[in-house]
Every structure is written in C-alpha cells, then in structure tokens.
Amino acid sequence: MADEFNLLSIYEQNLNFLIGAGASHGFLPTLALEIKDLDDMKCTFETLAKKYESDKQMTTLLFMLYYRECIKPGLPITSPRAVPVPPRPPHKEGVIEEYKRFMITLIQVLNRQKPSAKRANIFTTNYDNCFETASEELLAERSAQFIVNDGSTGFQRRTFHTRNFNHRVVNKGVFERHDQYLPQINLMHAHGSVHWEKGEKDGDIKLNYGTSSYNITFDQNETAILDIFKGILYDEDKTLDVVVK
C-alpha cells in the first residue's frame, strides 16, 4: 500500500459513497434506545425486534412505535397552494444544509473529471428524503448544474428499475457542434425510500414525490399504550428481564 496519497488523483477515479444513519442525525431520530440488555449494552429497535421476533404482541408494539417515532417524522408532506409550507425547525435545517454542502463539493469534484465521466454513485441505507430535498433546493437556487438519477422513468407514474442508472444526460450545443456531459449523481436507496410505493405489477416500485400514502394514525388508547412503551424503552435505568420460553 502506498505511503502517500495524492489528493488530485481522486479526480481520475470512479467515485462511490456509502451513507449511513449518522448523516441524517438531527433530521430523524436513530434506531438507538436507552434501555439496556443483560450485558449492560444499550438496545436498538433492531436488536429488540430480533430478540422478540417470535412474540407477536411485542413485535407489533415495536413496529408501531418505530413507525411513530422514526418513520412518520420523515414522510414527505405537501401543502395546498393556498397554504404555505411551514419552515423546517433549525435542527433539521442544519442537516439539509450539510447535505447541500456535500453535494456542492461533490459536483465541484465531478466538474474536474474528464468530460465523458462526471458521474458518482451514492448508496444510502437511509430511507429519508434528505438527498432529494437538498438536490431540489440546489436546483431551485441554481447553485450548480447537475443531474440526480433516482433510477426511475415515467411522468405521472414513475417506476424504479436499476437499469435506469445507466442513463446519461448530454447537453447539445448550438447546431449540435459539441456535447456537454452534466455532472450526474446516481442515488440508490439500499433499504428503500419514503418515496417508494408498491407498483401495480408484482415487483414494481413506484416513486411518489407528493404527499406520502403511508400516513397511519393511532386512536387514543393506542397512543396511550405507545407513550407508556416509549417511556420504558427510552429510560436509561431500565434493563431487559430474562425471558424464558
């Protein structure tokens, strides 16, 4: 392995990024909980779901609380034209600004690649829409000229397929005397996205950038139970008991 790394050589490479939950911390809560296991380690929604996978009541409660606390706050919501979209809270605004800064930096790097390259892949395990939101705001601000390829095609019904990541956009000059490849960012949600819905055909994934259809409400009794359950899971003084099957 080389002892030194020339930063300028990055412009000649295929760029791939893996984005995890920490990137969106502050925009959405993580899966971490405060309750500890018998080894004094903090649990997560994932570890508890695995531990109690054979307990239907427990897994139901876990997924209900997971939806309310971790998914619902990140669902896309659009307001009628007569109703202005409320501003984002400062902590969420800061996260989107960091995403925008990352994308601007990446676009600057891509612009230094050879004309036929200028492409990067972003693999994210997050289901949130931070990249989509940041991209849309940058395009609206005209801060940079770039393309985000989300793997979908269509108009009123956009359908996802991995083959669409092979598409490129080329600007033709006047009288088609030259071609200009725009910087392209392929955005791949490895664990799905809040914008994804089940398509009409088996296996199809439909993209919906409007109001989410996943909005689930709980009645008063369900809310009260979830509040009590949340109080237990987010209490650092609580520890899991031994469960004997």
Query: What would the pLDDT profile of 23-50 be if each residue is shown by its tens digit?
Result: 998 888 888 999 999 888 999 999 999 9
Radius of gyration of the chain (CA): 22
| Inside any domain, residue 46 | no
DSSP β-ladder status, 15-19 and 119-124: parallel
Backbone phi and psi for residue 69, each to the nearest 5 degrees, phi listed first: -90, -35
The CA distance from 66 to 61, in Å, is 8
Closest CA to 113 of 225, 231, 8: 8
Structure tokens at 188: 């791949």
Q: Is the pLDDT of residue 243 over 50?
A: no
Whether 213 and 75 have beta carbons less than 8 Å apart is answered as no
According to the model, what pLDDT value does residue 1 have? 53
| Inside any domain, residue 19 | yes
Distances in whole angstroms, Cα of residue 144 to Cα of each of 59, 122, 134, 137, 150: 45, 18, 12, 10, 18
| Inside any domain, residue 232 | no
Q: Please tell me the pTM assigned to this model.
A: 0.82
Q: pLDDT tens across 7-28, in order? A: 677 777 889 999 997 899 888 8
Higher pLDDT, 138 or 194: 138
Instruction: Determine the Cα angle at 55 with ends 53 and 61, to 5°.
Output: 90
Whether 37 and 43 have beta carbons less than 8 Å apart is answered as yes
Whether 65 and 49 have beta carbons less than 8 Å apart is answered as no
| Inside any domain, residue 30 | no
| Inside any domain, residue 111 | yes
Domain count, the chain: 1
234: number of Cβ within 10 Å: 14
Query: What residues make up the domain containing 157?
Result: 13-24+87-167+177-207
| Inside any domain, residue 215 | no
